[in-house]
Chain A
Amino acid sequence: MPDTSGPTPEFVQRLMASQSAMYAFIVSLLGGVNDADDVLQETNMKLCRRCALYDREQPFLRWAYTFARFEVMAHRKSKQRSRLVLDDELVVRMAGELEEYAEKADSRLKVLERCIERLNPRHRELISARYSRGEAVRDIAERLARPENAMAALFYRLRKMLADCVHSNIGKEGLS
């Protein structure tokens, strides 16, 4: 039964602070960004409706991930005739594994910002081209006269470097 008292300001603050982590969780389970915003919106609505169930002593993100997982599954059912990247078994398995990463996930965005600053200028420019200016990897490769495969491999390495940097610096005061 939906809660009718409404979310408290504290609840909404936690919800807002968790948006980027929830988005990343949903994108991972969908296998891409298509429809991820819709699923996030549905998840937010469910969380607000069920806010009375939240135990404020428990980590918010783990609780929110559970709702997000259900919304991903519901979304998959509605898209049964569309091409899906992952199968059901994988989604369930991966959701469980990803929930293990929930701790401090809501601070990853800030750490990521600093990790990007630590990239060399050329790599930072590539990240900016792909994610800030929205260029496709193929277009970047063409513009720089590099093979697409080589450029894709470079982006893979860059994301790996950033992931390692975030992992090793999460929870620390700052990066030097």
Chain B
Amino acid sequence: MNKDRPTFEQLCHAVLEGSASEAELEQFRERLHSSAADREAYYQQMQIHALLIWQNGRAAVPESLVLAPMDYSEKSNIIPFPFRRALLAAAAAVTLLLGFSFWLVPDLSYRGLSLAVQKGVSVDILASSGAPYQVGQRVMLQRLEMQTGSLRFRVSSGAVLDFEGPVSLEFLNPMRLRLERGSINTDVGNEAKGFVVETPTANVLDIGTRFGTSVCADGSTDIAVFDGEVHVYRAGLPLSQESRLASLVEGEAARVSARDAKLERLNMLTLKGGRLQVRGLNSPDSPVVLNVSDNIKQANFYRCYTILPGGMAEGALASLSFKAYLQLKWHAIPGQPFPEELKGADLIGTFQSFAKHERGETSKNDISLDLSRPCAVYVLFDTQATPPEWLQRDFRDTGLRVRSGPWGKFARAVRDLDPDANGELNLTHSVWRRDVLSAATVKLGPPGNLGTSYPYAMYGVAVKALE
């Protein structure tokens, strides 16, 4: 094997990142001249690098090669999509050929066919399922109505939107859209700070984050923050200190009601698959868990429980509590399979601040689960801690074990832990089970016994219908 390969990797990295010095470029060229294997490696690296950039819409494709979107409504006088798209693209190419821009020519007659200017904002399609766009396309969007299917695209401002039908939205400009119905996930990255989502009851100003917004059937707006921070304002007013209802940070969720436009904590949020995303309005709810709530009465408290219906599995999301790049997940114990008994359970994400102790004592908080049918409730308990009385009384230890991680090194729960072979901090949890034989509300108590200091991890919860 070529011992110099790491050096070529480093040179390649410097070239791809645009940080290579003159000396490094000289070495790089020498390698490419002398080695077919290095050229082959370079092709692989650069081609994938370029395709990833293209796929994510960072390549600045000429505006004149923008395609027009398909009309969603079926109208008899509309040219079928593939042909229509080709014609519009042809018009773009003709525009290039003639050397002047579309906007100077409202209607361009080309071979007897009329082609209209497309309004809206330019978006790059990143993913599409059941939607009339192809990955890699650039289209102009102003208004979008989708009943089914899913779509992910990058707006020219840099914001990435991800959603599934039904959704009804309108772009006001590349930094502002109006969501009339449905759920969207927004990732503004570093480029589109200041992106605003308007809804009938709120304006959500994104100041560098990922968040989900849903406009429910009654017109209320749900907002969940997955990373960073958003400001929530009253609808219909300028964004100002006076109209601001709250600032929400990662792991928090709130609802602005249609009835009185007041902001309230959203206790529970059903997520889409295993990803940090709000789901579409028509996505199935948990068949077992109707509601999750707690007894925390605290002003400006917006922490949220999450539910992944049927989502318990290796790598399932355990909590919204950490930055996206340090997402806490459930894992099997090394060398063992993930417990079969837990697989496919509805997974309830809890949050660490629930376990926060005050004045040296464990919190008195409890969690209520409203359950619609006979089921097994599982509590995944940090094995560093002593199981509290309510857990020992109502549940039995199944003997199964799972891990949560990776934890940040500054988390109190892992302060006595050594990193594993991968340099990560993971906690072991014992799996406790309680069978609930009919529809009921089940209370889960605080994670530690009263009067004890509690520097351990908050427990996780899973629920599975009994056969």
Contacts and interface: CB of A to CB of B under 8 A. Distances in A.
Interface of A: 6-13, 15-16, 19-20, 23-24, 27-28, 31-34, 36-37, 40-41, 44-45, 48-49, 83, 85-87, 89-90, 94, 97-98, 101, 108-110, 112-113, 120-121, 125, 127, 129-138, 143-144, 149, 152-153, 155-156, 159-160, 162-163, 166
A153 B94 CA distance: 45
B298 to A, nearest CB: 31
Contacts of B83: 9
A107 to B, nearest CB: 10
Nearest to B126: A132
A163 B47 contact: yes
Contact of B55 (A20, A32, A40, A135): A20
Contacts of B191: 134
A23 B59 contact: yes
Contacts of B51: 20, 23-24, 108-109, 112
A40 B22 CA distance: 26
Contacts of B56: 131-132, 134
A153 B7 CA distance: 10
A9 B92 CA distance: 11
Given A28-B47, A149-B10, 14 more contacts: A15-B89, A33-B49, A34-B18, A37-B59, A45-B96, A89-B33, A94-B32, A112-B55, A113-B55, A121-B315, A131-B53, A152-B9, A156-B12, A160-B45
Given A32-B16, A125-B324, A133-B187, A37 B52 contact: no
A159 B32 contact: no
A10 B86 contact: yes
A149 B20 CA distance: 14
A112 B96 contact: no
A37 B55 contact: no
B29 A86 contact: yes
Nearest to B42: A28
A176 B43 CA distance: 26
Nearest to A153: B9
Give the interface residue-count category, chain B. 35 or more
Interface string B1-35: 00000100110110111101010010011001100
A16 B25 contact: no
A86 B32 contact: yes
A27 B46 contact: yes
Nearest to B188: A133
Given A7-B97, A109-B55, A134-B189, A83 B22 contact: yes
Contacts of B61: 19, 23, 37, 40-41
A166 to B, nearest CB: 7
A124 B50 CA distance: 17
B332 interface: no
Interface in B152-196: 158, 160, 187, 189-191
Contact of A16 (B39, B89, B127): B89
A83 B25 contact: yes
B53 A12 contact: no
Interface string B363-375: 0000000000000
B60 A37 contact: yes
A113 B127 contact: yes
A114 to B, nearest CB: 10
6 contacts: A6-B94, A6-B111, A9-B87, A19-B61, A31-B15, A130-B52
A133 to B, nearest CB: 4
B54 interface: yes
The 5 closest A-B pairs by CB, nearest first: A9-B86, A27-B50, A163-B44, A24-B50, A152-B13
